[in-house]
Amino acid sequence: MRQSKLFTKTRREAPADEAAKNAQLLIKAGFAYKEMAGVYAYLPLGMRVLENIKTIVREEMDAIGGQELIMTGLQRKELWEQTGRWDDSVVDVWFKSELKAGGEVGFGWSHEEPIGEMMKNYIASYKDLPMYVYQFQTKLRNELRAKSGVMRGREFVMKDMYSFCVGEEDHTAFYNATIEAYKRVYARLGLGEDTFVTFASGGAFTQFSHEFQTICDAGEDVIYINREKNIAINEEVLTEETLSSLGITRDELVEVKTAEVGNIFNFGRQKATDLGLSYTSEGGESVPVWMGSYGIGVTRLIGVLVEKFADEKGMVWPKSVAPYLVHLVGLNLEDASVRDYVDGIYAAFKDKGIEVLYDDREVRAGEKFADSDLIGIPYRVVVSKKTKEEGKFEVVERRTGVVRMLTEAELYADFDGNPET
Ligand code: ATP
Ligand code: MG
């Protein structure tokens, strides 16, 4: 992509009402546009990051047998009444509206009820189970406070997966496989070390749900961890009872601020019982399906990555999700022979399938470097009149600032393959 053609421009200031570092940087660098508090559009650079995260999540969900679909944003009131979750006093984040033709609809904040209902059409016998489905959905939640930038949106992208099993044994196997798949997702995003499978509340059927919590100062949660024992407990469930059931004492735990990047639930047969979703067993009996639900906050993760890895100069993207791998910065482009030369390097990168953003603008070098730091692409390759004469390229790694001088052949060899994180 030629930067001169990118409709977004970097800007020096974020909107005055934007308090969160993640959104400030995303807006300044032209990754996101703020429509209103808690509502952000993703522009070409931001969308590439979003799609890269989705690709990683998709690969891992497919690998454990997930089948992708997409549900609707509009939902039926009657369905949520059936499980007692239509009332605003029960679910406080509903957006609702009225149909001109009469009747009320809800805007999807979760899809547990609609997907259970839909599956009545596809699950009849034990032979239809297990079944695992997932989607990437724009969820709408009427959050009271939306001060954490893209980490708490009123509109945000979630990956939500649902499992349908005959009973506990199958469910547990899949639940555990999902925990492993989630760990791979966070590891591929460069968050593995700092992400903990955390005991949390929110299990209607079980004592705990499991949250995936990433250490992050800008997060809104507090958890207690012990790295050696690999135990993490959300403060909401930090009781004597929890501690003794996990065989740990309070003084073995340290408090950390975190962002919830995923949450998984075991519903037992309760949800399916409420919804009337049953299968016929081998013995011919009608049995409610054993369900589970598994979320990942896809757009929240963008915010977490910005918050955790940014430095004073701007964002720092892990290679696995960066909008481009290489930021090719051309200098002295007013000289036609240099411009031709840099255009040639750009074409060679593209030929080799190396994702490259080419700063082909005729602006000051200082401005180019500042923008490049702000945008945070993993490698900056500077090409100038001097490069052309000496045949050596300056390659700067954004994360470490390490500078290397490479020949053209070394350069392409270096970026070949598909490096991760
Ligand atoms: P929170 O406690 O942060 O409000 P939640 O427990 O209500 O989140 P879930 O229903 O568990 O959220 O949703 C699954 C995942 O979706 C969460 O783990 C989180 O990563 C993400 N998520 C939830 N709410 C938001 C939001 N308002 N903006 C962005 N991501 C969100
Ligand atoms: Mg949650």
**Block residue for tokens 């001169």:** 4
pLDDT at residue 420, as a whole number:
44
Ligand 2: distance of its center to the CA of 169 in Å? Answer: 24
Give, in order, the Cα–Cα distances in Å from 176 to each of 87, 257, 260, 288, 407.
33, 25, 19, 21, 48
Ligand 2: distance of its center to the CA of 392 in Å? Answer: 51
Ligand 2: distance of its center to the CA of 260 in Å? Answer: 7
Q: Residue 27 is encoded by which pair of tokens?
A: 């807006």
Residue nearest to atom 29 of ligand 1 (CA): 152
Give the residue, out of 260, 266, 296, 307, with the most ligand 1 atoms within 8 A of its beta carbon, to mutate for a pocket test. Answer: 260
pLDDT of the chain, 421 residues: tens digit per residue: 999 999 999 999 988 999 999 999 999 999 999 999 999 999 999 999 999 999 999 999 999 999 999 999 999 999 999 999 999 999 999 999 999 999 999 999 999 999 999 999 999 999 999 999 999 999 999 999 998 999 999 999 999 999 999 999 999 999 999 999 999 999 999 999 999 999 999 877 788 999 999 999 999 999 999 999 999 999 999 999 999 999 999 999 999 999 999 999 999 999 999 999 999 999 999 999 999 999 999 999 999 999 999 999 999 999 999 999 999 999 999 999 999 999 999 999 999 999 999 999 999 999 999 999 999 999 999 999 999 999 999 999 999 999 999 998 888 887 764 444 4
Ligand sitting nearest the alpha carbon of 153: 1
Tell me how many degrees the CA angle 313-314-319 measures, rounded to the nearest 5: 120
Ligand sitting nearest the alpha carbon of 296: 1
Residue nearest to atom 22 of ligand 1 (CA): 297
Ligand sitting nearest the alpha carbon of 236: 1
Q: Which amino acid is at 25?
A: L
Ligand 1: distance of its center to the CA of 156 in Å? Answer: 9
Give the closest residue to 214 by CA, choosing from 165, 151, 137, 143.
151
141 CA closest ligand 1 atom index = 27
Which residues surround ligand 1 with Cβ inside 6 Å? 141, 143, 152-153, 156, 158, 260-263, 295, 297, 299-300
Ligand 1: distance of its center to the CA of 400 in Å? Answer: 32
Cβ-based neighbours of 36, under 8 Å, separated by 6 or more? none
pLDDT at residue 415, as a whole number:
78
Pairing of strands 393-397, 379-383: antiparallel
The pTM of the full predicted model, rounded to 2 decimals, is 0.97
Residue nearest to atom 1 of ligand 1 (CA): 260
Ligand 2: distance of its center to the CA of 23 in Å? Answer: 22
Ligand 1: distance of its center to the CA of 412 in Å? Answer: 41
pLDDT at residue 203, as a whole number:
73
pLDDT at residue 416, as a whole number:
60
